[in-house]
Chains A and B, each alone.
Chain A
Amino acid sequence: MIWVSWRQHRSQAIACLGLLAALAVYAIVMGTSMRSAFGQDRLVACLAHSQGTGCPAAIRAFTGRFGSAVNVAFWSVLLALPGLIGVIVGGPLIARELEYGTWRLAWSQTVPRARWLTVKLGLVIGGLVVLGAAMTALITWYRAPMDRLTGRFLPNVYDFEGLVLTAYILCAFAFAVLAGLLLRRSIAAMVAAFIPWLALRLVVEFQLRPRFQAPLTFRQFCSRNGPCYGGYGLGTIPPSTGHIGDWVLGPGAGLPANQFGNTYLYQPADRFWTFQSIEAGLFVLLTAAALGLTIWLLHRRAA
């Protein structure tokens, strides 16, 4: 059975290796030049003694040089990538058998179809986990110098490092497998799975993720007469809390009347892995639910 699954998915596996190879080339080229620039700009020492406040020019130069390769534009392309990988692998898994009539062949052998599907899913999921882990490792490695400036909580970092990238792939895959069984068409299944996956991703990212745990409040006190620059957001290094890696969400409640300054709501940097676990857990749970439903539907399949 394992051989059968491998034989049917080997061209997809080769395509995934190709993708990984392309990513590896990019990561090695970018990663090495970022590393050498990071060393030359003496950013290490600056970060160590001032959290980056002492060397704004050097930081600006570094982010100006490499920011475009790791930030928003790059991120919005990569945002869709886990979903695309998942639906392209998952959509045809059952739908192709239904489209070509080979389900009559596959499910009339002695191995029952629920077991056929379970073995197939096991193997493909194993492959996707390896792919997701390898992509995460490559991205984490090449971005490491930039992460020392920006931290890992910003969406363009958070979405590709840690556990969530793999979980996104698995979730899109599971949606597409289920859609393939229901719609009986590979392309339709890919589209039908990608749309809710993307919607879910955006809702989680912008609505749920900031609230996985109650945010902390940072208070910035200013003297009565002096200037008091505020400003929060994604761009400042270090962020308004003064600690690289903190994720500043926005302004907090006002200070008491006799005090001057600003307050910020933020998620501290050390919650990164907790948040990754919560979010990956959510997507893995949905993956399990969709695949469980698929196996059950196939087992007692009505049509």
Chain B
Amino acid sequence: MAQDDAGGGATALRTDRLGRRYGRVWGLRDCTLDVPAGVVAGLVGPNGAGKTTLLEMIIGLLQPTEGQLSVFGETSHAPMAARLARVGYVAQDHPLYRDFSVADMFRLGRAMNPRWDQKLAQARTDALGIPLKRKVKSLSGGQRAQVSLTMALAKRAPLLVLDEPVSSLDPVARLEFMREVMAAVAGTGLTVLIASHVVSELERICDWLIVLADGHVQLAGPADDLIAAHRLVTVPRGTANAEFPGLIIHRTDSDRHSTVLVRTDPGRLAAPERPGWQAGPVGFEQLVMAYLQRSSKAPATNDPAQAAALPGPATKAVTR
């Protein structure tokens, strides 16, 4: 893949057949991704799909077993400090030192990050009404999440990685957190990678989508392109799979009809191709769910081979 393959911008994150094995089990395998700078990418997958494994390799907390990884040009062979400087990370459950005050946490951030932005950190906590003197253990879950986010932002890294940032939060805190992420990203050119299994939260903010299941990439690309490349078709029951002009991602059969998600060239299946067929666009959440359900049925290892034969942006993520 060429450097500016994804639309002219620089590449924020590139992985090439990245894999990580735990003993005899592969946590993630054959992961090839090319995420351009400036996007907000959603990383979706069920628990155990390899999301955290991928994120920890991106951050440098884990070494890849095989394959290549680079974040803004720094590979996994670059000095650790150079790699760490590229990524701001909000870990799952927002770990902070319980007996530190917020000010102590910021002082830690300043001590451990040469580009630390204390003004930004203080302005954010002021705006959120979080007192600097308050101990971490007396903050609410939402406030802790905000402090974690603030620390990752004040590190001034070009890539912000969030691992399940809202799964432990109540609905109001979720909304606030996501709003803060969007506000922080707006106009800064920051690239964001958010791992979540709360698909509805991602739909609002992501313009790039990566679906991960069973340790493999199922789907990756700009969200709009992916939605344009899929059609949801309702056909009479018994219609053969071979009749569809594209790859069948998911099929549900009811008494009379079958509902089929088809990956095809954009523009195909715009109108019903046959009598009795109804074709329509697919929603973000439907699309993700279809790929997740598909991976749990079909052996995931077959997917890249099938997908490689197909046109459309989805194939670029899974090219061998």
Footprint of B on A, CB under 8 Å? 1, 3-4, 7-8, 11, 100-105, 107-114, 116, 300, 302-303
Contact present for B84 and A7 (CB under 8 Å): no
- Tell me which residues across on chain B come within 8 A of A302, comparing CB atoms: 63
State the Cβ distance, B21 to closest chain A Cβ, in Å.
10
The answer to whether the Cβ of B93 comes within 8 Å of any Cβ in the partner chain is yes
**8 Å CB interface, B131-151 against A:** 148, 151
Footprint of A on B, CB under 8 Å? 22, 59-61, 63, 79-81, 84-85, 87, 89, 91-93, 95-100, 104, 107-109, 111-115, 148, 151, 155
CB nearest neighbor in B for A100:
B95
Contact present for B91 and A101 (CB under 8 Å): yes
Contact present for B95 and A109 (CB under 8 Å): no
State the Cβ distance, A234 to closest chain B Cβ, in Å.
47
- Tell me which residues across on chain A come within 8 A of B91, comparing CB atoms: 101, 104-105, 108
Contact present for B109 and A109 (CB under 8 Å): yes
Contact present for A101 and B80 (CB under 8 Å): no
Q: Of residues B61, B85, B95, B148, which shows the largest number of chain A Cβ atoms within 10 Å of its Cβ?
A: B95
**Secondary structure call for the B interface:** loop
CB nearest neighbor in B for A300:
B63
Contact present for B112 and A104 (CB under 8 Å): no
State the Cβ distance, A97 to closest chain B Cβ, in Å.
9
- Tell me which residues across on chain B come within 8 A of A8, comparing CB atoms: 97
State the Cβ distance, B143 to closest chain A Cβ, in Å.
16
Contact present for B97 and A110 (CB under 8 Å): no
Contact present for A111 and B112 (CB under 8 Å): yes
- Given A3-B107, A112-B84, the answer on whether A105 and B95 have CB atoms closer than 8 Å is yes
State the Cβ distance, A281 to closest chain B Cβ, in Å.
33
Tell me the complex Cα distance, A300–B79, Å.
Answer: 13
State the Cβ distance, A300 to closest chain B Cβ, in Å.
7
Contact present for A108 and B96 (CB under 8 Å): no
Contact present for A109 and B112 (CB under 8 Å): yes
- Given A102-B96, A108-B59, A108-B89, the answer on whether A7 and B104 have CB atoms closer than 8 Å is yes
Contact present for B84 and A108 (CB under 8 Å): yes
- Tell me which residues across on chain A come within 8 A of B96, comparing CB atoms: 102, 105
CB nearest neighbor in B for A102:
B95
State the Cβ distance, B51 to closest chain A Cβ, in Å.
14
- Tell me which residues across on chain A come within 8 A of B97, comparing CB atoms: 8, 102, 105
State the Cβ distance, B66 to closest chain A Cβ, in Å.
14
CB nearest neighbor in A for B163:
A104
Tell me the complex Cα distance, A249–B285, Å.
Answer: 82
Contact present for B93 and A101 (CB under 8 Å): yes
Contact present for A110 and B84 (CB under 8 Å): yes
CB nearest neighbor in B for A10:
B99
Contact present for B61 and A107 (CB under 8 Å): yes
A-B CB contact pairs (8 Å), 19 listed: A1-B111, A3-B108, A4-B108, A4-B112, A7-B100, A7-B108, A8-B97, A100-B95, A105-B96, A108-B59, A108-B61, A108-B87, A108-B89, A109-B84, A109-B112, A110-B112, A112-B80, A112-B81, A114-B80
Tell me the complex Cα distance, A116–B61, Å.
Answer: 14
State the Cβ distance, A22 to closest chain B Cβ, in Å.
24
Q: Of residues B63, B79, B108, which shows the largest number of chain A Cβ atoms within 10 Å of its Cβ?
A: B108
Contact present for A110 and B114 (CB under 8 Å): yes
CB nearest neighbor in B for A113:
B80
CB nearest neighbor in A for B151:
A105
Contact present for B84 and A104 (CB under 8 Å): no
Tell me the complex Cα distance, A300–B64, Å.
Answer: 11
Tell me the complex Cα distance, A303–B65, Å.
Answer: 12
Contact present for B111 and A100 (CB under 8 Å): no
Tell me the complex Cα distance, A109–B60, Å.
Answer: 10
- Tell me which residues across on chain A come within 8 A of B109, comparing CB atoms: 109
- Given A100-B95, A101-B95, A102-B97, the answer on whether A109 and B87 have CB atoms closer than 8 Å is no
Tell me the complex Cα distance, A110–B113, Å.
Answer: 5
State the Cβ distance, A229 to closest chain B Cβ, in Å.
64
- Tell me which residues across on chain A come within 8 A of B93, comparing CB atoms: 101
CB nearest neighbor in A for B91:
A104
State the Cβ distance, B264 to closest chain A Cβ, in Å.
41
State the Cβ distance, A8 to closest chain B Cβ, in Å.
7
Tell me the complex Cα distance, A253–B97, Å.
Answer: 64
- Given A3-B111, A4-B108, the answer on whether A110 and B61 have CB atoms closer than 8 Å is no
- Tell me which residues across on chain B come within 8 A of A111, comparing CB atoms: 81, 84, 112-113
Tell me the complex Cα distance, A105–B92, Å.
Answer: 10
Q: Of residues B59, B97, B115, which shows the largest number of chain A Cβ atoms within 10 Å of its Cβ?
A: B97
Contact present for A110 and B81 (CB under 8 Å): yes
State the Cβ distance, B179 to closest chain A Cβ, in Å.
23
Contact present for B112 and A1 (CB under 8 Å): yes
- Tell me which residues across on chain A come within 8 A of B107, comparing CB atoms: 3-4, 7
Q: A101-B93, A108-B60, A108-B89 are in contact. List 15 more A-B contacts (CB 8 A).
A: A1-B112, A3-B111, A4-B107, A4-B112, A7-B104, A7-B108, A8-B97, A101-B91, A102-B96, A107-B61, A108-B61, A110-B115, A111-B84, A112-B79, A116-B112
